Amino acid sequence: MKRIYRNSISGGLIAAFLLLAGTACSDDHFDVVAGSASESNTLWQNIRDNGQTDSLALILRRTIVMKSQTDKTGKTAQGLYTYDQLLDASQSFTVWAPLDGLYNAKHYLDLLDERDALFSEDPQSQEAWDKNYEVANQFVLNHMARFNYESSPERQKVHLLNNKVAYYETSRLFNEVVVDGQSAPLHSANGALHFLSGISPFAYNIYDYIAAHDCFSQIWGIVSDPAIDRQEFFEGASTPGAMNEDGEVVYVDSVFANTNEILDLSGAQLRNEDSLYVALLPTDACWDAAYAKVEKLFNYGDKYRYDWDMKENGGTGGFLNTLNLDADSLKEFNTKASLIRGAYFTVSNFPTPAQADSASINHYAQTADSLISTNGIIYYNPNPGGINPNFGGQPPVKASNGYIYAVEQYDVDPAYTWITKTILDMRFEAYVAAVSSSEVTSLNKGGTGQGTLITLYEGGRNKEVKGELEYDQYRRFESDGATMTVDIMLPNVYSGKYKISAIMVPNRTNIDLIQYNDKDEEVEEHTTFACQVFDDAGTQIANRAQRDGVVVDPDTIQSYVLFESVEFTKCYAGLPAGYISFPRLRFTLSGNSRQNGNSKSLNIEKIILEPVRE
């Protein structure tokens, strides 16, 4: 059924009143000063008639009321609901009005002219709504608040109608702007009107700052692209009306939700005034250099195998399907998205002393050994104990919800950020892609076919074996003498160089698994294995043959370097949703007789991937 999204004037009025409605107690309203010449006038009438705020009156008369950036209830088929009407109604406000000639009113009137031109071409123009919201949010609502701020001579914290915070010192300063001493406050029937010797400065949040400053035109061009930043109809929050003659739903109040394919996955709420972030953003001056560094992580292939099945190829495992990929487009999108998504750090995650004040926050951000971004990217400080060169050596810009480092030289090394140390905990069978052996004995304990999770019970640990075993657990793969291969998936690998290690557990760590001869003497077991790395197509990209294999120390739990450097030429991170592909690390335990003292098992606690930093 086709929906028609249309609003009546009543829907717009109701929505506007809902925005500004409060409790009905007397504190919500202003006292009217007896004998004031303006006491019977509304705020709008006093703004219109006092002779000093004609420019403001023009702007109020033309600016449509919006509850939020996605609200479109103020413009209806029957007409507009504008801020002059709002200030002419019964709701109570305080208005700090900039006097004529002391600010650039033409800038806002020009934006409204541009809005009207866009609406004339397309009555549903989102760009037109954006221009209206810019005037409303950054100018009109930046001079308005609820409640009476005349009750205290002390410095008061004012919550403006655009959710910003300002400070007011009665008859002296508002938001650091001088209150005009020649014009007494005009007490109105629905509030109080004060006069300012200039415009109340708009406190940009991080999102606003990016949008408003040309030095971030690259970032803004990406996140504001209509293909990325979309407004979607929110049916559950909208008010349906009657059916029309064609059986179509006519909505009297349509609610739209904003979605942004890049920012929504950053983990940061950049427009949220209640949160505090530190942002590390490349400016246009270094965007190309930053892009060139990060794009190396996203060298995609034209084809990927996906849908892994452990039973494929006679039990050795295999991918069932092939994805044909537009590698260049995906590379471009993920490079841009990574530069933008990974740029924010939540101050609430800093140590408590580092949250004390502005100086503490920024000192910690610049000197911490590592910072974790809101989407989980770890930025290491290549200058431990000193100033992190990633911050560009520039002071931060204060935003209403944090601090922005506008970086002009991008020194972030991807090998110290996106390619980070990854630990695959072999307690979890999900990392086991396949196990193959012609004579398998205990691989299927528990029915998994992915090895056996061993938990050392109290007294079951052989104290002769040194080394730590976290959680007292590891995964055991066992064969009765035949050659056995164990494939471990390596998920979310970027294109780049990795060091690969494994923490191996000697067989005799578990006293129940110690082998004895017919004289009841412990058999000295030797575990020697080979390693290979394969890509998703099954092509070998690294090999450590049996002759160069790893020999497990029977007396120590320890980490063994399997490969000092393996270069993955294809990226497996950031593939399209629903497509999971990965390279594999293969362990091979050759079939040898037990009489030769060779162990029949592989015991693995963890697989470790680390970036190769050159």
Q: Tens digits of per-residue pLDDT, 148-187?
A: 776 567 788 899 999 898 999 887 899 999 998 777 788 8
Structure tokens at 48: 């219109």
Q: What is the pTM of this model?
A: 0.78
Is there a contact between 606 and 503 (Cβ–Cβ < 8 Å)?
Answer: yes
Handedness of CA 138, 142, 143, 145 (dihedral sign): positive
Least confident of 315-329, 362-376, 425-439, 464-478: 425-439
Handedness of CA 548, 549, 554, 559 (dihedral sign): positive
Indicate whether 592 pLDDT > 90.
Answer: no
pLDDT at 601: 86
pLDDT at 547: 79
Superfamily for the 3-203 domain: FAS1 domain (2.30.180.10)
Q: Is 5 helix (H, G, I), strand (E, B) or coil?
A: strand
Is there a contact between 347 and 269 (Cβ–Cβ < 8 Å)?
Answer: no
Q: Work out the average pLDDT over 52-57.
A: 96
Distance separating alpha carbons of residues 306 and 301, to the nearest angstrom: 13
- Mean pLDDT: which of 71-85, 269-283, 446-460, 508-522 is highest? 269-283
Q: Is 12 helix (H, G, I), strand (E, B) or coil?
A: helix
Q: What mean pLDDT is reported for the chain? A: 84
Indicate whether 244 pLDDT > 80.
Answer: no
Indicate whether 3 pLDDT > 70.
Answer: no
Residue, of 229 and 16, whose pLDDT is higher = 229
Q: What digits encode the pLDDT tens for the residues 339-363?
A: 999 999 999 999 999 999 999 999 9
pLDDT at 382: 85
Residue 406 phi, psi (nearest 5):
-85, 95
Q: Work out the average pLDDT over 208-228.
A: 93
pLDDT band at 251 (very low <50, low <70, confident <90, very high): low
Q: Work out the average pLDDT over 187-196.
A: 91
Distance separating alpha carbons of residues 570 and 265, to the nearest angstrom: 23
Residue 87 phi, psi (nearest 5):
-80, -5
Is there a contact between 422 and 498 (Cβ–Cβ < 8 Å)?
Answer: no
Q: Work out the average pLDDT over 76-88.
A: 80
SS3 string, 239-302, reads EEEEECCCCCEEEEECCEEEEECCHHHCCCCCCCCCCCEEEEEECHHHHHHHHHHHHHHHCCCC
Is there a contact between 376 and 421 (Cβ–Cβ < 8 Å)?
Answer: no
In the block, tokens 């590891």 appear at 474
Q: Work out the average pLDDT over 584-606.
A: 78
pLDDT at 448: 45
Residue, of 598 and 137, whose pLDDT is higher = 137
Indicate whether 16 pLDDT > 70.
Answer: no
pLDDT at 234: 63
Q: Work out the average pLDDT over 464-487.
A: 88
Q: Work out the average pLDDT over 520-537.
A: 86
pLDDT at 390: 86
pLDDT at 76: 53
Indicate whether 595 pLDDT > 70.
Answer: no
**CATH code of the domain occupying 422-611:** 2.60.120.260
Indicate whether 575 pLDDT > 80.
Answer: yes
Of 516, 517, 429, 482, nearest to 600 (Cα)? 482
Q: Work out the average pLDDT over 117-143.
A: 93
pLDDT at 67: 80
Q: Work out the average pLDDT over 283-302.
A: 96
Vertex 8: Cα angle to 12 and 146 (nearest 5): 10
Residue, of 235 and 318, whose pLDDT is higher = 318
b/e sequence 261-284, b meaning 16+ C-beta within 10 Å: ebbeebebbbbbbebbbbbbbbbb
Can you say whether residue 380 is alpha, beta or left, with left for phi > 0 and alpha for psi between -120 and 50 degrees? beta
Distance separating alpha carbons of residues 581 and 572, to the nearest angstrom: 6
Domain map of the chain by residue range? 3-203, 277-416, 422-611
pLDDT at 562: 96
